[in-house]
Each structure stands twice: as structure tokens, then as C-alpha cells.
Amino acid sequence: MPVIQVSLIRGYSGELKQRLCKQLTDAVRHSIAADPDGITVLLHEVEPDAYMRGGRPRTPGGASDDEAVGEAPADVVRSFLEAMEARDMPRAERLLDEDFTMTFPGGVEMTRLEELVVWAGERYRFVRKRIDAFDTCDEGDYVTVVCHGELHGEWPDGTPFAGVRFIDRFELRHGRLLRQQVWNDLALARS
């Protein structure tokens, strides 16, 4: 079974090291038909004064930007969706990339959360999501997170609805939401 050995300059957080081990395990699983229990990841740490490159001492690099935000990509998406449901726009906006865009059924594109609130207000009083799963995929400079589940809420006249399927696809850049694409069956449920 595969054994991966990584050398790090001492100084990274335990949380970051655990996440690195998990992501390395996942990378092997996606490349080799290996049982996760058979994949070993070993992190070796060296003291900063025991390491040189180019004849000069080095210090550990900074954490990835998604750790700087403080959350793994799926947690960023979950925080965003929770903030939107609570209509906590300042919290939601802190998670957005400056080039954020969103696309909703019917090809409706928006770049500001205020636009979404106005647009959605004509369609329903409120909507909540029951999320069944998050799937995360690293794509070089971007991380894609897809979540799916069911919507429930109330139409503008107060009539409740439930069991409406949805899929949200998010792209994150440097730990911030760059793009959201939404698919759901609200139009079918309303008819």
C-alpha cells in the first residue's frame, strides 16, 4: 500500500497538518485503487534552524488562504448558506471574492447579494435548505464544492412548500466564494 512522506518546517498548526494528511490520502485514493486504511501519510517536522535552501535558512510558508478564512471549503459554503438563510448579509459578504457571481435557474445572473434578495422576494417569502451532502474537488487554483438536498419554505402567499430538490455548485478562490450556480425544482413545485 502507498506510503507518503512529507517534510515540513515546524510551526504549522495541528489542524492544518490533519487537513494536509486527509487531502494527501484523498489524492492517492483518486489516483490509485487503494483502501484508505492502507494509505499511510507521515509528516516529518524539522526545526527552522535545521533547514536551509539556497544556503539560507527558511521559515514555514503561510497557511493556505482557506485556512486564513478559518474554514475548510465545505465549511465556507455552509457558513455562507447559513448567513443567507438568516439574511445576515455582512457575514455572507465577508465570504465572497471580489469577482463573485451567481447564476440561478433561467440563466439569471447576479453579482450582489442585494440583487438576489430582491429577485427572490418575488418568488418566495423564505426558503431553507436541508443539505444531504457536500462534495469537494480541488482544481488547481480553485476548489469546487457541490451541495445538494431539499428546499422548504413559503410561497409569497404564505402557502408552505417542501421536498424541492436543489443542487448548488460553488467555486472558491483563495478561500472565498467566486461563483455560485444553482439548480432546483422550484418552478415545477410551484405549478
Residues 6+ apart with CB under 8 A from 8: 17, 43, 44, 45, 46, 60
Domain boundaries of the chain, sorted by first residue: 3-63, 68-190
pTM above 0.75, yes or no: no
pLDDT digits (tens, 9 = 90+) for 25-61: 877 887 888 888 889 999 988 888 888 888 888 776 6
pLDDT tens per residue, range 1-21: 889 998 888 888 888 888 888
Q: Which CATH number fits domain 68-190: 3.40.50.261, 3.40.50.150, 3.10.450.50, 3.30.1300.10?
A: 3.10.450.50
Q: Topology of domain 3-63, per CATH? A: Macrophage Migration Inhibitory Factor (3.30.429)
The Cα–Cα gap between 131 and 111 comes to 24
Residue 128: strand pairing partners: 152
Cα distance between residue 89 and residue 113, in whole Å: 7
